[in-house]
Structure 1
Amino acid sequence: MTGAEVLDIATQGIWTLLIVSLPMMLVGLLVGVVIALFQALTQIQEMTLVFVPKIIAIFVTMLIALPFLGATMAAYMDRVVDMIIMGS
């Protein structure tokens, strides 16, 4: 396996990581901004208020996006296994 092939696998792995983590990160960001706006408007400055809604939103997003996430990771694994089997 050459250095270029290793870099190709690493690049594909990083892109797969970004694609898989993006839905949860975006939902966490949006929920955090909405709750921060709510806290600013109501002047409720409770530090723990953010965590429970954010955890629930990320969990629901993960359940909804699970087929997409699994397919994305399986496609990456198929590419890696094919490269291992081909010996290149």
Structure 2
Amino acid sequence: MTPETVIDIMRDALWMIVLLAGVIIMPGLVVGLVVSTFQAATQINEQTLSFLPRLIITLLVIIFAGPWMLTKLIDHAHGLITNIPYLIG
């Protein structure tokens, strides 16, 4: 196995991590920004007002994007496992 192959595998794995984490984190960041803007405009300083919508959105994203995320992970793992003979030899 060459160093270039190892770098390619690591790059693909890191890209998969960024992609899957971004799918979960981005909607929560957007909702948090909207809620924070609302809190700043109305001067309401309630902690649960910012936490609860982000929690609900994150759970909904996991529910709806979960099958797609699992498919991406399985495809990546399947590609790695099927290429083991070519990577070793």
The count of residues paired between Structure 1 and Structure 2 equals 88
**SS, match of residue 50 in structure 1:** helix
What one-letter code is carried by the residue in structure 2 that aligns with 1:77? A
2:56 match: secondary structure: helix
Shift of 1:41: 1.3
The amino acid that maps onto 1:37 is T
Q: Please give the TM-score of this superposition, normalised by the length of structure 2.
A: 0.88
Give the aligned partner of residue 9 of structure 1: 9
Rounded to whole Å, the distance in 2 between the matches of 1:6 and 1:82 is 16
Structure 1 residue 63, shift from structure 2 partner: 0.4
**TM-score with structure 1 setting the length:** 0.89
Q: Structure 2 matches for 1:1-88, cutoff 5 A?
A: 1-86=1-86, 87-88=88-89
> Unpaired segments of 5 or more residues in structure 2?
none
Identity across matched positions, percent:
30
Distance 1:48 1:2 in 2: 52
Partner of 1:16, secondary structure, is helix
* Runs of 4+ off more than 3 Å: none
Instruction: With a CA cutoff of 8 Å and minimum separation of 6, indicate the structure with the bigger relative contact order.
Output: 1
The residue type equivalent to 1:39 in the other structure is Q
Distance between the aligned counterparts of 2:19 and 2:55, measured in 1?
A: 20
Q: Which runs of 5+ in 1 are unaligned?
A: none
